Amino acid sequence: MKRSFTLFNLAILVLLFSSPGHAQNEANIWYFGTNAGMDFNGGNPVPLTNGQLNTFEGCATIADASTGQLLFYTDGSTVYNRNHMLMTNGNGLLGSFSSTQSSIIVPHPGQTNLFYIIAADDVAGPNGVTYSIVDMNQSGGFGAVTATKNVSLLGVGTEKLTTACHGNGTDYWVITHGWNSSDFYAWQVGLTGLNPTPVISTSGSFHGTSSFNTLGELEVSPDASRIALCTWYGTINEVFDFNNNTGVVSNAISLTATGEDYGCAFSPDGSKVYYVSCCASPNNVVQYDLNAGTPAQVNASRTVISSTTLARGHAQIGPDGRVYIARYLQADIAVIDNPNAAGAACNYTEIGFNLGGRISQLGLPNMVSCLIIIFDLEFITFHGERQDQGAIDLYWEAVEERQQGEYVVERSPDGAYFYPIGEVPFRGKGEVVAARTYTDADPLPGSNYYRIRFVNANGENSVSEVLEIQPEQDLHASITVSPNPVPDQLQLQIAIPETSTGNWEVELIAADGKLVRHLSLGSLAPGRFQRQFDVRRLSPGYYYLRVRNGQATAVQSLVKQ
């Protein structure tokens, strides 16, 4: 017999997945550097030459979630609409074109016309971190910066500014690092707006001493489980765990710095992190394998991918799953074609993408990391069962397209940081619903949290919701179901303990979570209870038989022939 428990209530064993809360075309248009731009809407990028930005470093762009067409862009101080004109009330923002991450644009959850522009001053300047709101319904649909403008979030900060998707699938986190401190600040943006009270985490190195230590990129992995940063001049390269449910940053890993490291980026699958040094020879692009093991083993995985005298800057994942790297005052930017691959197999190309006559400086658009990778596999169901021997069986169904890839089964002890425990390969045969299974033979004690990550041949990711398998509990009943699979008649036996009180309930649940049949047994005397059910009218398939007595629950999986 197998016992099954699920998220929160030990009851429904199927989680249904609709489209994620965050659409994924917002990152399809980029404007940066000296009038440079890129359009990813066709899959492979093409250069854009109509941009108005002339920014030394930071910038941000946002496109329509459905169409991928430009909405507006900014260098942190000036905002341009989709006609490349100054947006109404769009000047005088308190970011700086000379801040590493001068700005980032965050959609307002639940209000498709509203966006937050978060801005950061340069070199620990007095404007710190501020926010302004854009309403796209104003100015005839071309948008305007509202009266909510230059609202202070942090008095003095660094040039580090990033965002992450919240674990609830709807909200966002806005994240920065404090100045003269080891503190991270994370503000939640939800349905009611931006909460001005941050979650403050103290972790990792002290950022202070020289104002040049404010420079350098801060990035969140696409699955929002990790954060990476570097400080130009400060020789600090670090990776942290990030809990996108609580906003807490923890577990710093210090990595060897080349010197004057400026940019950093995760691979789409989160297994690698890249650091880019800027303005002192040699200027390196370095890869670390975050799955190497201990912090010492991660450090030992350090691989120099490229070394040159040319200054390079911001690193950014593109919607095509590649990592792009700014090359200072050049007409081309560098590209890492396969950033999930180890070492030279990542395929770094120095002159990787031509900007069509425009010029790169040090910055690329600052993006919400989880909105970048556009591939989205549709998970239909995801549930799990705990076997008598303690192993946990996982089952899921997904709409598989005609492509190759693999499912990576990931586990967590607390639902914060997930790590891979196994792989399930597949070869898609078209728009079909395919069922997949995996057994965790040695689960953790206590609760186990699981999610399924799909990675296709291009390195693009899609991640399921999180399933919690709770620890076994002392139930008031043990149940026996026979035969299983069942053709016509199902026999249920319940061992009723002496301590039994209250009414007993039996429920038959279909695989999609729909209640098929309910029977109230009333109060049962201690001993063995036996009941037979006629199931001839049930459609063949997968079901669950759930027995309840008060708060205690026992569940048995069932196959109808």
pLDDT of residue 431: 56
Band of pLDDT at residue 238, cut at 50, 70 and 90: very high
Higher pLDDT pick, 533 / 240: 240
pLDDT of residue 389: 73
pLDDT of residue 13: 30
pLDDT of residue 23: 45
Give yes or no for residue 320 having a pLDDT over 50.
Answer: yes
Give yes or no for residue 478 having a pLDDT over 80.
Answer: no
Q: Is residue 335 within 8 Å of residue 350, measured between CB atoms?
A: no
Band of pLDDT at residue 401, cut at 50, 70 and 90: low
* Cα 362 from Cα 371, distance rounded (Å): 22
Band of pLDDT at residue 418, cut at 50, 70 and 90: confident
User: How many CB atoms lie under 10 A from the CB of residue 306?
Assistant: 19
* Cα 71 from Cα 65, distance rounded (Å): 10
pLDDT of residue 339: 93
pLDDT of residue 17: 31
> Average pLDDT of 141-151?
95
pLDDT of residue 136: 92
Give yes or no for residue 376 having a pLDDT over 80.
Answer: no
Q: What's the pTM value of the predicted model, to 2 decimals?
A: 0.68
> Average pLDDT of 340-369?
94
User: Average per-residue pLDDT in the chain?
Assistant: 85
Q: What is the pLDDT of residues 504-533, one digit of tens each?
A: 888 887 766 677 888 888 888 888 888 888
Convert 284-320 into a string of H (helix), E (strand) and C (coil): EEEEEECCCCCHHHHHHCCEEEEEECCCEEEEEECCC
Give yes or no for residue 160 having a pLDDT over 50.
Answer: yes
